[in-house]
Amino acid sequence: MSQPCNFLRRNVLRGIGASVALPMLSTLTPARSRAEQAATTCFTDATELAERVRNRELSPVELMRVHLDRVEAINPKLNAIVTLADGCLERARQAEKAVMRGELLGPLHGIPFTIKDVFDTRGVRTTRGSRIFKNRVPDQDATLVKRLKKAGGILLGKTNLPEFALSAETTNELFGRTVNPWNPDRTCGGSTGGEAAAIAAGLSPLGVGSDLGGSNRLPAHYCGIVGLKPTHGRIPLTGHWPELLARFMHAGPLARSVRDVALASSVMSGSDDQDPYAFRATVPEMTNLQAPLPRLRVGWFAEGPFAPVEKSIRETVAQAASALQELGCRVDPVSLPDWEDYLPIDVCYHLLAGEGTQYLEPYLAGHDDQLSSSIAGLMQLPKPSLKQFVNACDRCEQLRKDLAEFFARFDLLLCPTAPLVAHSHDAEALLIEGQEVSPSHAATITASFGLTGSPAISIPFGFSDDGLPIGVQLVAHRYDEATLLHAASALERVYQPEFRHPLL
């Protein structure tokens, strides 16, 4: 079973012995020094933590305790983690015993991870952000959760999301709002906002979310972390709900480093013989991310057909283009002029208003009084006409053809993740460079590559004048995560000296 996060660490610790065989934060170390060590551990990436566990330099038990302590101290400020997994500390204890016995260890052995509360977790409450499912406890793990556990990962908890993961603002009637760790008055995005906030704040080193319109990449951009949307079908969605628009939905990792999302993708990818869209090819283990980049052909735009885009974001994308050029890539400005006539975000609207509402109706019948405002609003959207719906489907095919032609000439596309930095909560309109636009404009760029199924990643590459993170987005040809991750890692190393964490 599992427990609400307000019970926190005291219940998780109940009945667990205190002896630890591996090195831990010494009780002989001054309190301030121990606190500094703990903070450093909580902002160390999962790859390094796993290496330290394998080398017997870090106890899985102490690693879990440090994260539980931080959840207890910081999560009330953010509301990012909504359910802790019972027994996570005991599982860390078993992981430690395996290390001491010299057993063969998985690549994530002893590493805590969190999961967006839209994926099933065996014995741990999975609410889908809805009062309708507030007491739902699955008896099976989602495929990707099974694979993370098989790799040695230990489920720490579940993270917040909008109801049914169908909104760009992470709030619901069951748990309330998650706030941005850089500024609580700003959104953390959605629908994977709880994951992004938790990872940015050091509550978890690694997480998983789902993405169609930008649900991993937008929160990663707003919160200053790495968010990956692999090629559609790379990671099975078995155990994810709702199953609507499955031909466009993706699962992908979030973390504080590119190598972490590469590692998690290699663990989770490949067919499970259940998801009809999942293909057998896995992401190869990225052991050469540090290698020099080949002379890649990179097309880039800072605004393209997605105007308006904030000046600070345009400048940050231009800096990333210059960095790639200095790394030896051939970098050329490009445009996508035909996209302006029927933007991908409008295609998403017609698909969701048509298919989405039809799919949800039987699940929501008789529960009108339990719905969040976002879902109630979705269900009231006017249905597209048959002509509009068919045009939306045709437009998806054209977008895929456009990118196929683009990637015949280029290896990568560099562009903004979003047209603005984290905005205020529940904004009814967005003001960008003096122009008022719909809130849906925030997802206008990310939605494009959800519809095409292309692998895309958002990595932090700067800050606005008011101290909010700015991400840039790289997109690659379908199935070419290797090039995508290699280039993202190279950009990450350029930016690394500037990387910082929110002060909480």
The pLDDT, as a whole number, for residue 338 is 84
Could you tell me if 473 and 445 are in contact, meaning their C-beta atoms sit under 8 angstroms apart? yes
Give phi and psi for 172, each to the nearest 5: -155, 170
Q: Strand, coil or helix: what is 178?
A: coil
The pLDDT, as a whole number, for residue 59 is 97
Mean pLDDT, rounded, for 160-168: 97
More confident call, 497 vs 70: 70
Structural Rg of the chain based on CA atoms? 22
Could you tell me if 464 and 421 are in contact, meaning their C-beta atoms sit under 8 angstroms apart? yes
Percent pLDDT > 90 in the chain is 88
Mean pLDDT, rounded, for 40-66: 97
pLDDT of 17 over the 60 cut = no
Task: Characterize the bridge pairing of strands 176-177 and 206-211.
Answer: unpaired
pLDDT of 334 over the 50 cut = yes
- Through-space distance between the first and last CA atoms of the chain, rounded to whole angstroms: 30
The pLDDT, as a whole number, for residue 281 is 81
Sequence-distant (≥ 6) Cβ neighbours of residue 31 within 8 angstroms = none
Mean pLDDT, rounded, for 376-392: 95
Q: What is the pLDDT of residues 224-240, one digit of tens each?
A: 999 999 999 999 999 99
Give the residues across from 171 on adjacent strands. 177
Q: Which two tokens stand for residue 267?
A: 């663990």
Number of domains the chain is built from: 1
The pLDDT, as a whole number, for residue 3 is 55
The pLDDT, as a whole number, for residue 174 is 98
The domain that contains 459 carries what CATH number? 3.90.1300.10
pLDDT of 8 over the 50 cut = no
d(CA 172, CA 177): 7
Q: For residue 495, what are the domain limits?
A: 1-504
Query: Which whole-number Å values give the CA distances from 68 to 179, 213, 376, in the listed order?
Result: 19, 32, 35
Residues marked active site are found at: 116, 191, 215
> pLDDT category, 21, cuts 50, 70, 90?
very low
Q: Which two tokens stand for residue 190?
A: 């959605």
Q: What is the pLDDT of residues 344-374, one digit of tens each?
A: 999 999 999 999 999 999 999 999 999 999 9
- Alpha carbons within 13 angstroms on the beta-carbon side of residue 431 total 2
Give phi and psi for 374, each to the nearest 5: -65, -40
d(CA 349, CA 310): 24
d(CA 48, CA 53): 9
pLDDT of 20 over the 70 cut = no
The pLDDT, as a whole number, for residue 284 is 67
d(CA 142, CA 133): 17
The pLDDT, as a whole number, for residue 37 is 84
Q: Strand, coil or helix: what is 204?
A: coil
The pLDDT, as a whole number, for residue 178 is 98
More confident call, 168 vs 37: 168
338, with CB counted inside 10 A (0-12, 13-18, 19+), is exposed
Q: What is the overall mean pLDDT for the chain? A: 93
Q: What is the pTM of this model?
A: 0.94
Q: Which two tokens stand for residue 436?
A: 């008022």
